[in-house]
Copies of this chain bind each other. A is one copy, B any other.
Amino acid sequence: MAVTMHDVAQRAGVSIKTVSNVVNGYPYIRDTTRTKVLSAIEDLGYQLNVTARNLRTGRTGIIGLALPELSLPYFAELADAVIVAAEAQGLTVLIEQTSSERSRELEVLSGARRHLTDGLIFSPLAIGAGDEDLLRVDFPMVLLGERIFHGPVDHVTMHNVEAARAATEYLIGLGRRRIAAIGVHTGEVVGSAGLRLQGHLQALERAGIPADPALFGEAGLWHRATGASAMAAVLDSGARPDAVFAFNDAMALGAMHELQVRGLRVPADVAVIGFDAIDDGIYSTPSLTTVDPGREQIARTAVALLVERIAGKETDHVPVQVYADYRILERGSTVPGAP
């Protein structure tokens, strides 16, 4: 039913392989032959069967992108950026949602989709320190995020500690002293939560401000709702922060909401800074000051590394760690009247 190379070959009066050569841009073909083949393709409405090519070449032109949840704006925007970057390289992206479940993340690593994709960009949340061995997979992979350090694979990440330190230093620079940290995971050292808290504490220490545990807001998942309730918990404990550093924008927006519900003015009473630079922060009331962790750069770099990994031979590869550049976007939640 469908038109195959065989049909095209017959109509053009050439061999199948010649059609294949034309389609693939093989140079040594007479112009007259090429024209014949192309018009036969046109006439028949031929379309290459990608599956057959995949079987023969072992390449699919698809890369997997495994992330926790698309409904979280940070990941939706990251997916967007990855898709755009992949497209520029002629690749298609297959998204897998792990729902932050360890079992789903292990499934992704087990390579169930391995024959369908040429490689994987993986942003893990549930697996972490101690799981380095799970990352020794036999297909090209690039990691995103903070969960694993010094693993055996390429890793694109951000300057979490430095960027977090910069955020808190920025608040201190505004004259704030009682700075709440929202999104703390007590006991965690390596993940985003651990690193950002570390940067936060460094900044406090350098400024000679003692850290006050009453200002730590615990939040497991980093949603708006958890940000709001972490903020509520801090306020209910009697602490009176004059600034908030939320470890991501979603929580920052939730926290800001909670502050305003309680009649506190942002930024007059409490300045708020987030982390991620999601689009939403531009349109909140007030707009949200945030740390831009270089999302597009991360996406571009991850795709580029993966392409390199796919093309390269397995041997002599030394895992690289790439850190994207960060900067602070100053907006209305810290400076009255800022854009």
Contact = CB atoms under 8 A, between A and B. Distances in A.
Contacts of A114: 47
Interface in A108-124: 111-116
How many copies of the shown chain assemble into the complex? 2
Interface stretch (A51-59, A213-221, A322-330): A51-59
A206 to B, nearest CB: 33
Contacts of A54: 51, 54-55
Contacts of A70: 70, 76-77, 79-80, 83
Interface residues of A, number: 48
A39 interface: no
Contacts of A69: 80
Contacts of A83: 70, 95, 97
A284 B250 CA distance: 11
Interface in A23-44: none
A52 B58 CA distance: 10
A118 to B, nearest CB: 11
Contacts of A112: 47
B285 A257 contact: yes
A233 interface: no
Given A71-B76, A95-B95, A50 B115 contact: yes
A333 to B, nearest CB: 12
A171 interface: no
Contacts of A318: none
Contacts of A261: 285
Given A228-B283, A257-B284, 8 more contacts: A47-B112, A48-B115, A50-B115, A55-B55, A71-B80, A73-B73, A280-B280, A284-B285
